[in-house]
Amino acid sequence: MNGDILLQNLINIFIISIILEAAVMAIFSVSALRGINTNRAVESTRDIIIILVAFFLCFKVQDLRVFSRTGLEIPKMLDIVISSLVLTRMTMFVRTILSRMKGEE
């Protein structure tokens, strides 16, 4: 297994997670949606959007898959699911960091 390629894949996913979080924040910061209180339904909707976008990104872009080119032979769909879950988690991590920097939590 090539560890350097695995690390490069994880760094690529982290960069995409920053972009994904910025895109979702832009959608939810539209002035029409600002009147909605941040409740559990809005948070769940945001999470579902992130999960779906992460899955389709990992499905379409092979470079975003965690185990691509590492020499580890796993089924393609399992690689896509693991990669999308890692991308989702990193996106939520970025959201937590940004909200702490803003002082929302």
Domain boundaries, the chain: 3-102
* Residue 88 CB-density burial (10 A; 0-12 exposed, 13-18 middle, 19+ buried): buried
pLDDT, tens only, 35-65: 666 677 778 888 899 999 999 999 999 888 8
Query: Model pTM?
Result: 0.81
Distance CA 46, CA 69 (A): 31
Q: Report the sign of the C-alpha dihedral through residues 64, 81, 28, 33, in that order.
A: positive
pLDDT, tens only, 64-91: 888 888 888 889 999 999 999 999 999 9
Q: Which amino acid is at 76?
A: K
Q: Is the pLDDT of residue 30 over 60?
A: yes
